Amino acid sequence: MSPFGFLSGWALVALWFLAWQAGAKRRARGVGTAPPGSALVARLLMPMLEALLLTLFAAFWFASLGHGGWLLLFAVLGLLIEGAVRLRHATPPAGVPPTLDLAWCTSTVLGTLRLVVAGALLDWRL
């Protein structure tokens, strides 16, 4: 794998994550004003860092086991990350177990789709 392939893969996934974040924010609260400087930096750095870690993971995967099975790998990874994290951070009232409602399922599926598309971009570039 060339450094150019790694950097271009990271850049594509970072742009995908930033576009996803912008669309999610716009859908959640409508078009608003720009956040203060420090919040803007955090909103830019976190997707870029997440894209870097996912690109490193994909580079290790593709370099060791090849490109086969990437769809299943990123789908399972997406479900593990999105589903488990959302379920772990669910805060139901005391004594009530967390439930899997439609909003939880939809956000988990969309979050998984976000990682599957990122995996497709990395499969194409790496």
pLDDT band at 37 (very low <50, low <70, confident <90, very high): low
Provide the percentage of residues in the chain whose pLDDT is more than 90: 19
Q: How high is the mean pLDDT of the chain?
A: 80
Q: How far, rounded to the nearest angstrom, does the alpha carbon of residue 23 sit from its chain's CA centroid?
A: 13
Calpha distance 7→52 (Å, rounded) = 9
| Domains of the chain by residue range | 3-125
pTM for the whole structure: 0.72
